[in-house]
């Protein structure tokens, strides 16, 4: 065997440090917000994903200590999310201490630290702060979950992702900065096309000048004729002499009109021909320039051979990567963005798909596993497949795991076909494995695959044959140079969003704004959607809502939605997307720019970054939004449940009856809200993790401020005994979830408040 190829990782160290600092900033901000708004499961998933990617990038760079601290941070936060350990101040402080240590370790990559970094002390503090909860839920992992880390060293692998989630360029895509090598033949072709375009444009200008000259002749002839007629009429001259004097002018005018008509028709015909040729030339130029952006996939695919070899050795397995279609070319942006999802796919294939040699022998397979990466062109797109010959995925295990995780009811799960079941693999936090390792994350990884595909207007699917293997298929566009976007104005600046992420544009008023999980949200038929004022997010001047209310773009990224408030909709357009330049590089929230027909610049928003920023950071809103229009009933209701779905459904039902409704994600969060605001009624689930509804009622009765606050307890029909306990504890109302209807709740709350059936 030949000597294994090595990758010089030193060239990526500075870039890793910059990206790691950006990630750590978002992790700190996310933890701060999470501390003030506990129980935000989506935010916890986003924080875990940031930590997971930081860990993976550090491992690939061979920075084992940074990777270890990031992994322990991820594990601790994951256990807290899964309610396996107590959520206390000691754990929160330990998590912040870990982030502080990581920041110092990253800084030490460029300059020696001023004082020694006590890594062991930080890790010990994290361990001691994790106090197990009695009878913790069974630990689960994910298809992208980890097996027990081996005592061996961490392999040095290619870099994975930048601060935005986009991949770091692999060796071969960048020779110097952001420059691109161009073949002389392509430059000559572009030069010839530009020369032709300039010539066509000049000819077009000349034709328009000729048309202008004919117009001048026409106006001069008409003016002479009009002057002669007016002169004759003024002198009262209506004689044969006058007719003889005017006749030549009439003949000249008639000839002029006929000539002008003939010439104009010909000139316009020729102008159309030239305009068509110019358009064709410009299209050819665009295609040539787009071809310059194309890079072969081989450098990316080949780098995974090294990764597979190192990872296989670490896990005690044998695996080889076979590459097909490496010469296929794709837009450089897309190729670079593929690095992170492809890394997650390969890790999962080797860590959880490929069996150890002994197990493969028992299954009648060769000892060395195979992972085949294939790229195939398909009608302006490229299909990338990663197929392994490992153990595959059992759809029954996926169904059981989805039910255990509360992602779907048992009844609904049995209605899904195999393809729909395997779709859960792309869900954040999804688990089927029973063991964890330091190679892949606890349900954080495969969701990046689908998110990356959708970010580039593509698709991702997974197919599996239990016992035989798994195939992950991504379909992506060849080029991102030209995009169809929605243009709009905010704070005096032009912006654009890819049309594929836009559901629609709609107006709304303050009456349609509700508060969900402490955030302003737009009430929609299918549930509340978080609101973000783009002007405020970017530090631009606020726009006046006006008599017609506000204007929002309904934006969708994967399964997440937000409503982006803008100033003015400027319609859809097909634009050429430009990079922000080598000096700016990747700027958070933006993926490029375009020059409009007016010469103004529009910034293209990165929807993936935008949705993440909205969920990872606190938002501010214009004064009075959602407060000016009062609901039909002057009453504030607090809905408490540890299920986001239940909270949203109950909030919608109560809001439809005219109540002002806020939500809390559990008993502790509810007590915090009750200490800050007076509510008329609390509607709470009887069974919740941590503090249940009856315990919440008991705590409220201990305080003068909330002692007489009416509580309505909600239980499932299978646990009607909870309703008996609730009445004994002093609940003013009890109802099953199945009985939680608009009319029924309006009658119950109205009766409690002494306002009749409608309040």
The pLDDT tens digits for 672-699 are 888 888 899 999 988 887 788 999 999 9
Would you list the DSSP string of 601-659?
Answer: EEEEE-HHHHHHHHHHS-----TTTTTSS--SS--EEEEE-S-HHHHHHHHHHHHHTT-
Token pair, residue 89, equals 């101040």
Find the distance separating the first CA and the last CA of the chain, reported in whole Å.
82
For residues 37-51, give the mean pLDDT.
Answer: 79
Which of 672, 633, 624, 668 lies closest to 654 in space, CA to CA? Answer: 633
Q: C-alpha distances in angstroms, 83 versus 79, 131, 445, 702, 751?
A: 6, 11, 21, 26, 37
Token pair, residue 421, equals 């079941």
Name residues whose C-beta falls within 8 Å of residue 231's C-beta, 6 or more positions apart in sequence.
none
The count of other CB atoms within 10 Å of the CB of residue 66 is 24
- How far is Cα 401 from Cα 393, in angstroms, rounded to an integer? 12
Secondary structure E strands in 403-518: 459-465, 469-477, 482-490, 493-498, 502-508, 513-516
Look at residue 258 and tell me whether its pLDDT is greater than 80: no
- How far is Cα 749 from Cα 716, in angstroms, rounded to an integer? 19
Q: Which sign, positive or negative, has the C-alpha torsion 477, 482, 485, 488?
A: positive
Q: Using one digit for the tens of pLDDT, what is the confidence trace for 702-753?
A: 888 888 899 999 987 777 788 888 889 899 999 887 788 887 888 888 888 8
Between 125 and 46, name the one with better pLDDT: 125
- How far is Cα 428 from Cα 433, in angstroms, rounded to an integer? 14
Q: C-alpha distances in angstroms, 443 versus 64, 427, 550?
A: 22, 8, 38
For residues 83-101, give the mean pLDDT.
Answer: 86
Look at residue 153 and tell me whether its pLDDT is greater than 60: no
What is the overall mean pLDDT for the chain?
A: 76
Contact 71, 55 (CB under 8 A): yes
Would you list the DSSP string of 532-560?
Answer: EEHHHHTTPPPPP--TT-EEEEEEEETTE
pLDDT category at 246 given cuts 50, 70, 90 is low
In degrees rounded to 5, what are phi and psi of residue 495?
-135, 165
For residues 412-420, give the mean pLDDT.
Answer: 77
In degrees rounded to 5, what are phi and psi of residue 219?
-65, -35
How much is the pLDDT for 65? 87
How much is the pLDDT for 338? 84
Look at residue 389 and tell me whether its pLDDT is greater than 90: yes
pLDDT category at 623 given cuts 50, 70, 90 is low
Token pair, residue 290, equals 């787009």
pLDDT category at 476 given cuts 50, 70, 90 is confident
For residues 288-317, give the mean pLDDT.
Answer: 77
Collapsed DSSP state (helix, strand, coil) of residue 321: strand
Token pair, residue 451, equals 């998110």
Tell me what percent of the residues of the chain surpass a pLDDT of 90: 11
Contact 271, 209 (CB under 8 A): no
Q: Using one digit for the tens of pLDDT, what is the confidence trace for 213-244?
A: 766 776 776 777 667 666 666 666 555 666 66
Q: Is the pTM of this model over 0.75?
A: no
Contact 633, 657 (CB under 8 A): yes
How much is the pLDDT for 185? 61
- How far is Cα 483 from Cα 511, in angstroms, rounded to an integer? 36
Helix (H) or strand (E) holding 271: helix 240-293
How much is the pLDDT for 390? 92
Name residues whose C-beta falls within 8 Å of residue 603's C-beta, 6 or more positions apart in sequence.
493, 494, 495, 496, 590, 592, 593
How much is the pLDDT for 189? 62
For residues 57-67, give the mean pLDDT.
Answer: 79
Helix (H) or strand (E) holding 422: helix 418-422
Tell me what percent of the residues of the chain surpass a pLDDT of 70: 70
Best mean pLDDT range from 52-56, 111-115, 244-248, 281-285: 52-56
Contact 46, 616 (CB under 8 A): yes
How much is the pLDDT for 569? 92
Q: Looking up tokens 């106090």, which residue turns up?
A: 131
For residues 329-348, give the mean pLDDT.
Answer: 83
DSSP lists the bridge partners of residue 513 as: 522
């Amino acid at each position: 065997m030949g000597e294994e190829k090595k990758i010089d990782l030193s060239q990526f160290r500075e870039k890793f440090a910059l990206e790691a600092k950006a990630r750590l900033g978002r992790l700190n901000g996310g933890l701060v917000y999470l501390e003030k708004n506990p129980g935000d499961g989506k935010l916890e998933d986003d924080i875990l994903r940031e930590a997971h990617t930081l860990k993976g990038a550090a491992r690939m760079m061979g920075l084992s200590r940074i990777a270890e601290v990031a992994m322990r941070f991820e594990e601790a936060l994951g256990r807290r999310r899964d309610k396996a350990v107590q959520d206390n101040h000691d754990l929160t402080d330990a998590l912040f201490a870990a982030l502080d240590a990581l920041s110092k370790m990253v800084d030490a990559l460029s300059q020696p630290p001023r004082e020694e970094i006590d890594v062991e002390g930080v890790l010990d503090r994290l361990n001691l702060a994790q106090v197990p909860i009695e009878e913790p839920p069974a630990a689960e992992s994910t298809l992208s979950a980890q097996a027990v880390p081996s005592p061996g060293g961490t392999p040095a692998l290619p870099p994975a992702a930048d601060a935005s989630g986009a991949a770091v360029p692999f060796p071969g895509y960048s020779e110097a900065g952001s420059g691109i090598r161009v073949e002389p033949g392509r430059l000559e072709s572009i030069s010839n096309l530009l020369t032709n375009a300039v010539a066509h444009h000049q000819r077009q200008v000349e034709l328009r000048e000729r048309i202008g000259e004919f117009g001048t002749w026409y106006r001069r002839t008409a003016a002479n004729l009009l002057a002669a007629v007016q002169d004759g009429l003024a002198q009262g001259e209506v004689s044969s002499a006058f007719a003889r004097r005017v006749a030549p002018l009439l003949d000249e005018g008639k000839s002029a009109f006929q000539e002008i008509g003939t010439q104009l028709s010909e000139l316009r015909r020729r102008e159309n021909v030239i305009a068509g040729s110019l358009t064709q030339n410009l299209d050819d130029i665009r295609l040539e320039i787009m071809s310059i952006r194309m890079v072969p996939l081989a450098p990316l695919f080949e780098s995974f051979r090294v990764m597979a070899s190192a990872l296989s050795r670490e896990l005690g397995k044998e695996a080889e990567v076979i590459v097909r279609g490496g010469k296929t070319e794709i837009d450089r942006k897309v190729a670079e963005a593929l690095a992170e999802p492809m890394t997650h796919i390969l890790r999962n294939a080797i860590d959880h798909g490929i069996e150890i040699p002994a197990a493969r022998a028992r299954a009648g397979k060769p000892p060395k596993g195979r992972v085949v990466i294939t790229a195939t062109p398909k009608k302006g797109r490229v299909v990338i497949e990663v197929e392994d010959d490992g153990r595959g995925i059992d759809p029954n295990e996926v169904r059981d795991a989805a039910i255990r995780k509360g992602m779907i009811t048992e009844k609904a799960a049995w209605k899904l076909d195999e393809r729909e079941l395997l779709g859960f693999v792309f869900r954040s936090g999804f688990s089927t494995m029973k063991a964890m390792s330091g190679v892949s994350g606890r349900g954080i990884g495969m969701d990046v695959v689908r998110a990356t595909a959708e970010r580039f207007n593509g698709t991702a699917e997974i197919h599996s044959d239990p016992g035989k293997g798994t195939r992950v298929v991504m379909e992506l566009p060849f080029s991102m140079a030209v995009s169809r976007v929605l243009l709009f104005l905010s704070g005096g600046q032009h912006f654009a969003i890819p049309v594929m992420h836009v559901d629609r544009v709609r107006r709304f008023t303050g009456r349609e704004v509700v508060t969900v999980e402490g955030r302003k949200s737009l009430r929609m038929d299918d549930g509340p959607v978080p609101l973000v004022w783009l002007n405020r997010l970017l530090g631009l001047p606020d726009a006046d809502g006006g008599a017609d209310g506000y204007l929002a773009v309904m934006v969708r990224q994967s399964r997440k939605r937000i409503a982006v408030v803008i100033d003015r909709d400027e319609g859809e357009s097909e634009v050429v997307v430009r990079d922000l330049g080598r000096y700016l590089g990747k700027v958070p929230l933006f993926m490029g720019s375009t020059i409009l027909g007016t010469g103004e610049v529009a910034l293209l928003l990165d929807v993936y970054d935008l949705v993440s920023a909205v969920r990872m950071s606190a938002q501010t809103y214009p004064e009075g939004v959602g407060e000016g229009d009062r609901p039909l009933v002057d009453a504030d209701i607090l809905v408490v449940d540890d299920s986001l779905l239940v909270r949203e459904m109950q909030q919608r039902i109560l809001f439809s009856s005219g109540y002002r409704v806020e939500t809390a994600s559990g008993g502790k969060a509810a007590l915090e809200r009750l200490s800050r605001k007076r509510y008329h009624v609390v509607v709470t689930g009887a069974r919740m993790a941590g503090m249940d509804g009856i315990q919440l009622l008991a705590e409220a009765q201990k305080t003068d401020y909330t002692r007489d606050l009416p509580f309505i307890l909600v239980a499932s029909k299978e646990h009607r005994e909870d309703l008996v306990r609730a009445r004994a504890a002093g609940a003013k109302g009890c109802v099953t979830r199945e009985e939680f209807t608009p009319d029924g709740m309006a009658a119950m709350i109205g009766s409690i408040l002494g306002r009749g059936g409608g309040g």
